[in-house]
Amino acid sequence: MNEVTHPLADELKAMTELVLLGAIWGGSFLLMRVAAPEFGPFALVEIRLAFGALVLLPFVLRARKRLRGRWHVLFGIGLINSAIPFTLFAWATAIAPAGISAIANSMTALFAVLFAGMMFGEKIGIRRGLGLASGIIGVIVMVGMPMAGVPVGWAALAATTAAACYGLAGNLVKRHLAGLPPVALGGATLSCSAVVLSPLAIWNWPEQSLSATVWASAITLGVLCTGIAYAFLFRLLDTIGPSRTATVTYLVPLFGVAWAWLVLGEPVTPGMMIAGTLILGGVALSQSRRPPPVIPRQA
């Protein structure tokens, strides 16, 4: 008997999964905000990397023959795509509201466009140029305006630098690791990053005992928001395609700000709304009528 397909049900399922991915990635900023002040950035990121790598380890083992001879590249890209940006986000969320990092993370798509033009000769064009300008103005707003009376300039710069790392890494993967299984590639770079960061994590491991809430936040960050979410992303890419999956870029900051407001009581300030509008508007402008879009990056 032929299987009966239900387009409306399939569409609803795909949209539910897309929203769920945005909620998971948006939740990563909440979890970092809870865990980073007690763990410190290096120890927290080591836990995130280790648990994320463990989740994706079966994919890495399955593709181990195809990864041979690429490990030096994987270590380098792992630093740029995971170790450095994760640490910057952890530091930023330790000293400033989680929504700041969630909004800055949206700059990833704009930085991907910028690096593709600067380093690899891809045409930026007027539309993308305007999108970049809008995003940069949004970052300036975040850096210059206190949020709820708290200066967040350094945190905003750190989170924006993390987004720049994601944008650069996406271009490097495209040019140096094309053709490798993407989920295995994610697991391999997480593993490499965990190895590189381990000395700093051990040296800076917190001396005080940590609460169960902090431990649960750190482990959930690695298992759910890093490992499972990465595999989830590529399921969506396969089922609904890159164009529609890229819309998660707009959901992550919305969920990031919403979770922080609902769970931690962090205020949603006019500065955050202005900066978010400018950055997301820039992303929309840079991606419109320019297929294929940039694949979204995890927080």
Beta-carbon-side half-sphere exposure of residue 77 (alpha carbons within 13 Å): 22
pLDDT at 149: 65
pLDDT at 263: 95
CA distance 284 to 277: 10
Residue pair 185/173 in contact (Cβ under 8 Å)? The answer is yes
Question: Where does residue 20 rank: exposed (0-12), middle (13-18), buried (19+ CB within 10 A)?
Answer: middle
Beta-carbon-side half-sphere exposure of residue 267 (alpha carbons within 13 Å): 8
In sequence order, which ranges of 204-294 are alpha helices (DSSP H)? 212-222, 229-240, 242-245, 248-259, 270-287
Q: State how far Cα 45 lies from the chain centre.
A: 13
Q: Which of 226, 291, 231, 245 is nearest to 15 (CA)?
A: 245
CA distance 182 to 96: 33
CA dihedral 285, 288, 292, 295 (to 10 degrees): 50
Residue pair 72/129 in contact (Cβ under 8 Å)? The answer is no
- Kindly report the backbone phi and psi dihedral angles of residue 95, in degrees, each rounded to the nearest multiple of 5, phi listed first: -120, -5
pLDDT at 24: 95
Place of tokens 């530091």: 91
Which pLDDT tens digits describe the chain residue by residue (299 residues)?
Answer: 454 556 677 678 878 888 999 999 999 999 999 999 999 999 999 999 999 999 999 999 999 999 988 899 999 999 999 999 999 999 999 999 999 999 999 998 888 888 888 888 888 888 888 988 999 899 888 888 766 666 788 999 999 999 999 989 988 888 888 888 888 989 999 999 999 999 999 999 999 999 999 999 999 999 999 999 988 887 787 777 766 777 788 899 999 999 999 999 998 888 888 989 999 888 888 876 544 445 556 66
